[in-house]
Amino acid sequence: MALKESQYIWLDGEFVAWKEAKIHVLSHSLHYANSAFEGVRAYPTDKGLAIFRLKDHTRRLLNTCKMSLLNCPYDFDALNAAQIELLRKNVFAPKTSVYIRPIVFVGYGVMGVYHLNSPISAAIAAWEWGAYLGDEGLENGIRVKISSWARNSVKSMMGKAKVAANYLNSQMAKCEAIEAGYDEALLLDSEGFIAEGSGECFFIVRDGVLITPPSDNALESITQDSVINIARELGVSIERRRITRDEVYIADEAFFTGTAAEITPVREADARPIGEGKRGELTQKLQEAYFDVVYGRNDKFSRFLTLI
């Protein structure tokens, strides 16, 4: 999906023109993939643009930095303030959702695998961005392929770190799925249980119960947590447990969640229709409730929004 350029990017404490936000070709993270990043969304509400769960995303960003030995030069409050001010400085179309990408990375100065002598930089970009898997996907659901690539093992990488190095695994799975004619990939963990999508968490519905895997082999998803909170408020029964691939095939409903994906129904997995092969009733109910929350139409969850 092509980027729609904004006016400014925040780079190491300064607001610079979009096209001037540059780094050196020998920046360490470009070669060795140690960078922490986040995906955050802001939505238009009746009270103005509002960032969804800003503090939770910033906290996870700094947790990733800690796990990855990135000594971020900006603290929690500074990163929150920078995201808010970036949205204020840029001019976005009315009634448009905005995607925010903070990143902390190892900069230019030292080469070689050891990175602790290298400088650490941070940047934040924001741009207008619609549905990650398409508006049609939000309504009618997408086709999913269970990937031949397993999710990174916890023996090899830190699954709770939202670090760039983890996403080569996601890229390979996503490319495999698309080249096979599907819309998205679903990855198993090293033991053969459902882990997550290439950039999303996964839910199924069976007999009215909402089921999602634990975060043993997946990112601790903020959107997944939001959906669980919303479902609990709606009185939906919830289970956090392992899911096998064959259980996906016989699920009544299935959907992905994520900051970019929001709540995207899955209508088919490995050429097998999920339920009736369309967006399910509970999925639609949760989808509508989720959008009520992010667009500021549900005061019970106003704590999740930071008004700009």
pLDDT tens by residue, 245-286: 999 999 999 999 999 999 999 999 999 999 999 999 999 999
Q: Say what the pLDDT of residue 218 is.
A: 84
Question: Can you tell me whether residue 272 is helix, strand or coil?
Answer: strand
pLDDT tens by residue, 164-176: 999 999 999 999 9
Q: What secondary structure does DSSP assign to 59-84, as a single string?
A: HHHHHHHHHTT---SS-HHHHHHHHH
Q: Say what the pLDDT of residue 133 is.
A: 75
Q: Say what the pLDDT of residue 130 is.
A: 81
Q: Say what the pLDDT of residue 131 is.
A: 76
| Residue 17, number of CB atoms within 10 A of its CB | 11
| Residue 239, number of CB atoms within 10 A of its CB | 12
Q: What are the chain's domains?
A: 8-128 (3.30.470.10), 135-294 (3.20.10.10)
Q: Say what the pLDDT of residue 1 is.
A: 65
Q: What secondary structure does DSSP assign to 191-227, as a single string?
A: TSBEEEESS-EEEEEETTEEEE--STTS---HHHHHH
DSSP code at position 50? E
Question: Can you tell me whether residue 279 is helix, strand or coil?
Answer: coil
Instruction: Check: CB of residue 256 under 8 Å from CB of residue 279.
Output: no
The strand pairing partners of 193, in sequence order, are: 244
Could you tell me which of 164, 156, 285, 268 has the C-alpha nearest to residue 233? 285
d(CA 140, CA 287): 12
| Whole-model pTM over 0.75 | yes
The residues annotated as belonging to the active site are 162
Which segments in the chain show pLDDT lower than 70? Answer: 1
